[in-house]
Amino acid sequence: MKKQFMEGLLTKNPVLVQLLGLCSTMAISTSLFNGIGMGVSVTIILICSNVLISALRKVIPSNIRIAAYIVIIAGFVTMVDLLIQAFLPDLAESLGVFIPLIVVNCIVLGRAEAFASKNGVGASALDGLFQGIGYTVALVIICIVRELLGNGTFGGGLLNGGEGIQIIPADFGAKILTMPFGGFLVLGLLIAASQWLVKRMEKKEKEGNK
């Protein structure tokens, strides 16, 4: 379990290491509300689809497995999308088409093919949970940096009536960070930081084994 947690959070993080789901990551990571909403949605879909695919792995014919996986994932995405529209309409409006597009998100399909189709239900559920946590953490960090340095606010969509707390005067915000280029810049720096941390952990582990 500890190994799976570290893989999802750091060593095999879907965004920072596997570089999956970058389209939605770049598009919606401009406020904390968006980041938490998308992260939780993807986590729920990862867990549910992993569990069902793992349970049916010996029944689904191998020659149609990808199509079957997509149908299963689409079912859970539709349920999550309808629930968000019903109970969190502001989030549904903010995320727009990117919730339905989770159907073709490589993170979900990739874990179905690489893990759930080869392992038991319990392990697959944990894999979905930890990969989802890793995705959410990376997304939230990107959201906080872009929102804080770009607009000067924190907690947009959640705090202060949805406007967020103004920490830096709006006129001093680096507006470029709210644009696609800014998203890729923050992502690149976060990837570099995560790789430095992984290398440092590996070095300490080697020194401890000596």
As given in the structure block, the two tokens for residue 164 are: 């967020």
Closest C-alpha to 39, from 84, 86, 85: 84
- Partners of 52 in beta bridges: none
State residue 191's pLDDT score. 94
Domain ranges of the chain: 2-203
The owner of tokens 């915000």 is 173
User: Is-contact 114 137, C-beta < 8 A?
Assistant: no
Please give the average per-residue pLDDT across 82-104, as a whole number: 92
The owner of tokens 């689409």 is 74
| Structure confidence by residue, pLDDT tens digits, 115-166 | 999 999 999 999 999 999 999 999 999 999 999 999 899 888 888 777 889 8
User: Is-contact 71 55, C-beta < 8 A?
Assistant: no
As given in the structure block, the two tokens for residue 156 are: 């947009």
Please give the average per-residue pLDDT across 195-199, as a whole number: 91
**pLDDT greater at residue 209 or residue 29:** 29
CA 184 to chain centroid, in Å, comes to: 15
Q: How far apart are CA 20 and CA 63, in angstroms?
A: 24
| Structure confidence by residue, pLDDT tens digits, 1-51 | 888 888 898 888 999 999 898 888 888 898 999 999 999 999 999 999 999
State residue 210's pLDDT score. 65
State residue 58's pLDDT score. 93
Q: What is the mean pLDDT of the chain?
A: 91
pLDDT band with cut points at 50, 70 and 90 for residue 75: very high
State residue 24's pLDDT score. 85
Count CB atoms within 10 A of the CB of residue 43.
19
Residues shown for the chain: 210
Q: How far apart are CA 124 and CA 52, in angstroms?
A: 9
Percent of the chain exceeding pLDDT 90 equals 64
Q: How far apart are CA 208 and CA 203, in angstroms?
A: 9
* 65-87 and 32-55 helices, crossing angle to 10°: 140
